[in-house]
A and B are shown apart, each in its own frame.
Chain A
Amino acid sequence: MVTSIHQLDDGAWVSVNDSREVNVSDLWQLARSDICDCDPTDFLAEGFVEVSVACGRVEARIAGQCIGCGTDGVTDWLELGRADPDTGAFRSVVPSSVHVPDRRRRLAAKE
């Protein structure tokens, strides 16, 4: 099945297959991010700016700030989780694990 993703309510959350899956307010641990020099960047998600999906892999660029140094910005693409291509069930990554924002560009529709 096609994975349907939406970023809604001023970017407050990401819907995957019409189910609210990822919210603002989580702290994401980012390694090698462009946000700041902290290692890792202790990143508070304040809004989802763009979302994309490819082969069930759901990604987003997130606006927020490092709560260690206060630098704000928008991340490169971060994997939020994966949607099962058969059932549509979404399995989220754990934000507090370390993630590496990906600069690769993909065919993403701006929402």
Chain B
Amino acid sequence: MPTKVEGWKDEAYGNEVRERIYEFAEEGWESIPDDEHDAWFERFKWWGLYHQRKGQESYFMMRIGTPNGVLEPGQLEVVADVADEFARGPADNPEFGGAVCDWTTRQSIQLHWIKLEDIPEIWDRLESVGLSTQQACGDSWRNIVGCPVAGKDKNEFIDAWPVAEELNETFKGNDDYANLPRKWKVSVTGCSEGCGQGDINDLAFEPAVKIIDGEETKGFNIRVGGGLSRKEPRLARSIDVFVTPEEAPDIAASCSALFREHGDRDDRFNARIKFLVDEWGAEKFRRVLEEEFVDGELRTAGEDLRDEYTYNAGHNHDDGEGHADHVGVHEQPDGNYYVGLSVLVGRMSAEETRELAHLADEYGSGEVRLTQRQNIIVTDVDSDRIDGFLEEDLLEYHSPEPGVFMRGSIACTGTEYCSLSIVETKNRMVRYGRWMQDNIDVPEGMTNFHTHLSGCTASCAQPQIADISLRGMKTRKDGEPVEAFDIGLGGGLGENPQFADWVEMRVAADEVPGYIRNLVEFFAEAREDGESFRAFIARHDEEALNGLVEPEETSYTDPYMHNTKMTWYPYAEDDDMGSSPAPTNGQGEPLPSDD
């Protein structure tokens, strides 16, 4: 029997929901019928609006989908202005202030504390410069990810940006693919470094070459069924298919139509395509695709480039291979430079964002790009202006040359706003990063060390593909419940992608930095000559890793050990759930309670 969510989607979903959002916004929060909240908030997601968690009723997270992370000249400043004016809540965040932009692991943008009444004005402003929130959430084509410097990378095999752009144009707002059984995440990679992270996507285009009619043809191999959520991580599996760039929209349509028709609409926990691939196997998937959804015969896969992948592959940066992330100064094929800035946990204030937009205009083309490591890249900087750009004050904190521990840190939204999370995340990861930077000696040659902190098993911070994987948990300390983490080791991508082994469970949050310090020190002593951290972990089995070093309290202090989920906002002076001002009206004033 189809789920209730499917029933709501049958009644109204996709493009048609927009008009209702306008009506609700015009009439105010209270115009949404009380007994239709759940249905409408499920539908709102399709338009990039996610109702914030308990205690924050009437406020929304707004996600802006930027395909491949590309923000064209002029767009970033509008994002900054919108955040400054509309993304302010009843209380400020002590680390970041009152209006922030989050760069996400899917190269999108998230704003918080958005009021329903402001949405039409925000859409007007975003859409006036070509930005959109359409399908940023919900059961459809999500923001398409890829190598964030597509078209500007010296190691590029094929320019994937036009492909991603065409897929976005084809499938955004396309009613045939608007209502899928679940989310549909697509990655397009064109570089030889593997920056698109295709392995963890529902549908992945991976660079490949094939002899067609006697000619060497560049294109993509197809993989399906990757993803990290729900303690059920899967790497995307090859279905032995090669397509040319021109054929990409057709095969994408076929794959998503197969998902639409055969995905599980009776059980949302089993709905993602990865479970269908589990059930069918890649061979049957290919056969059904060819028989029911493709005109003609599919080509077999071409020769891929996976043995060249360096992105998040666990190499030391001075190995002389391709890049592991996009931080730093890199020459483009046209002689200009792109400069990747490390943005700790992907969050910048509206003011910083505006400043960056101005700098991108002043020194580059005005274009910026978002990465899947929550960082931001300024492209097209003239070679004779690069030094001036690097001396700008903003780059002192959001640096192209950050310390190892700051560079590698990623965190999801967490209990600050998210219903799913078990623990506080972003502020904690900021504190972890600073402490590690100040208190852990970096082993010789270690230029990459990834710590991914996710608040729950949804895995939005992609914890399974990090050197240090942190997943939100609880434990008791001195008898009292405290926020904690399961710790995993050894994850990463590259030629041989590997999910982390979970080796230390339920570690109190204030003992995690001590564990990491002890582990890094042990690594420094016990590593073989020049061995990378990932290689070091890989040569120990799970049993050996378990208990390799101990968690411990250190000088690190953690102000978020209590149950932050029980607060209306973890950083409010009076954070008690009963003190929440929500729901509020269009002016942010508390609405009278029904009680």
Distance in angstroms between the alpha carbons of A67 and B475 in the assembled complex: 6
Inter-subunit contact B565/A25 (CB<8 Å):
yes
Chain A, interface size category, equals 20 to 34
How far is the CB of B129 from the nearest CB of chain A, in Å? 31
Tell me which residues from 213 to 249 in chain B have a Cβ below 8 Å from any Cβ of chain A.
229-230
Quick one: CB contact mask for B263-282 with A, threshold 8 Å, 1 for yes?
A: 00011110000000000000
- Residue pair B4, A18 in contact (C-beta under 8 Å): no
Is the C-beta of A86 less than 8 angstroms from some C-beta in chain B? no
Partner of B565, one of A8, A10, A19, A23: A23
Residues of the A chain whose Cβ atoms lie less than 8 Å from the Cβ of B91: none
Contacts A11-B269, A109-B1 given: A25-B34 contact, CB under 8 Å? no
> In the complex, how many angstroms separate the beta carbon of A102 from the nearest chain B beta carbon?
22
- B473 and A67 contact, CB distance less than 8 A: yes
Beyond A8-B42, A10-B420, whether A44 also contacts B473 by CB under 8 A is yes
Q: A109 contacts which chain B residues (CB < 8 A)?
A: 1
Check B457 for interface membership: any CB of A closer than 8 A.
yes
Asked if A18 and B34 make an inter-chain contact with CB atoms under 8 angstroms apart, the answer reads yes
Task: Please state if B54 and A18 are interface contacts (CB–CB under 8 Å).
Answer: no
B:16-57 near A, CB below 8 Å: 34-38, 42, 53-54, 57
B563 touches A25 (CB 8 A): yes
Q: B474 touches which one: A17, A67, A89 (CB < 8 A)?
A: A67
Per-residue CB proximity of B445-466 to A under 8 Å, as 1/0?
0000000000011100000000
User: Quick one: which of A18, A19, A44, A89 contacts B36, CB cutoff 8 A?
Assistant: A18
* Minimum Cβ distance to chain B for residue A8 (Å): 6
Contacts of A111 in B (CB 8 A): 3-4
CA distance A24 to B420 in the complex (A): 7
CA distance A58 to B91 in the complex (A): 34
Contact of A110 among B1, B5, B42, B420 (CB under 8 A): B1
Chain A stretch 1-34: residues in CB contact (< 8 A) with chain B: 4, 6, 8-13, 15, 17-20, 23-27
Instruction: State in angstroms the CA–CA spacing of A13 and B55 once bound together.
Output: 13
> Does A25 contact B506, Cβ atoms closer than 8 Å?
no
Complex Cα–Cα for A58 and B141 (A): 35
B546 to chain A, nearest CB (A): 12
Q: Which of A8, A18, A46, A89 contacts B456 (CB 8 A)?
A: A46
A70 touching B506, Cβ below 8 Å: yes
**Residue interface bits B402-426, CB-to-A below 8 A is 1, else 0:** 0000000000000100011111000
Report yes or no: A42 in contact with B38, Cβ–Cβ below 8 A: no
Q: Are A15 and B38 in contact (CB under 8 A)?
A: yes
Chain A hits for B54, CB < 8 A: 13, 20, 23
**Which of B479-498 touch A at CB < 8 Å?**
481, 484
* Distance from A77 Cβ to chain B, minimum over Cβ atoms (Å): 18
Which of chain A's residues have a CB closer than 8 A to the CB of B38?
6, 8, 15, 18
Q: Are A44 and B474 in contact (CB under 8 A)?
A: yes
Closest Cβ of chain B to A79, distance in Å, is 20
Question: CA A58 – CA B268 in complex, angstroms?
Answer: 21
Docked pose: A111 CA to B6 CA in angstroms: 10
Please tell me if the beta carbons of B34 and A10 are within 8 angstroms of each other in the complex.
Answer: no
Docked-complex contact A25 and B229, CB < 8 angstroms? no
Given contacts A8-B42, A44-B474, A111-B3, A25 and B267 within 8 Å (CB-CB): no
Q: Cβ of A17: which chain B residues have Cβ within 8 Å of it?
A: 34-35
Which residues of A, 50-82, contact B by the 8 Å Cβ criterion? 67-68, 70
What is the minimal beta-carbon distance from B286 to any residue of chain A, in angstroms?
Answer: 29
CB of A16 to closest CB in B, whole Å: 10
Give Cα A49–Cα B38 distance, bound, in whole angstroms.
17
B456, A24: Cβ atoms under 8 Å?
yes
List the B side residues contacting A15 at CB < 8 Å: 37-38
The smallest C-beta distance from A99 to any residue of chain B, in angstroms, reads: 16
Which residues on the B side are within 8 Å of A12 (C-beta)? Answer: 419-420, 456
Contacts of B266 in A (CB 8 A): 110
A96 to chain B, nearest CB (A): 8
Docked complex Cα distance between A99 and B420 (Å) = 23
Q: Does B505 contact A (CB under 8 A)?
A: yes
A23 to chain B, nearest CB (A): 6
The complex places the Cα of A13 from the Cα of B54 at a distance, in Å, of 9
Alpha-carbon distance between A95 and B271 when the two chains are bound, in angstroms: 30
Establish whether residues A67 and B506, one from each chain, have CB atoms under 8 Å apart when the complex forms.
Answer: yes
B35, B267, B423, B474: the one contacting A18 at CB < 8 Å is: B35
Residues from chain A with a CB closer than 8 A to the CB of B34 are 17-18
B284 within 8 A of A: no
The reply on B262 being an interface residue by CB < 8 A is no
Q: In this complex, what residue of A is CB-closest to B421?
A: A25
Closest to A9 in B: B419
Nearest Cβ on chain A to B501's Cβ, whole angstroms: 15
Q: Check A110–B267 contact: CB distance below 8 A.
A: yes
Specify the chain A residue showing the minimal Cβ separation from B267. A110
If A11-B269, A25-B563 touch, whether A70 touches B505 (CB-CB below 8 Å) is: yes
Bound-complex Cα distance A47 to B232 (A): 14
Task: Tell me the bound Cα distance from A18 to B57 in angstroms.
Answer: 12
Contacts A8-B42, A111-B3; A27 near B481 (Cβ below 8 A)? yes
Task: Return A100 CB to nearest CB of chain B, in Å.
Answer: 21
Q: Which residue from chain A places its CB closest to the CB of B45 in the assembled complex?
A: A9
Residue B476, interface by CB 8 Å = yes
Interface residues of B (CB under 8 A from A): 1, 3-5, 34-38, 42, 53-54, 57, 229-230, 266-269, 415, 419-423, 456-458, 473-476, 481, 484, 505-506, 563, 565, 595
3 nearest CB pairs, A to B: A18-B37, A12-B420, A25-B565
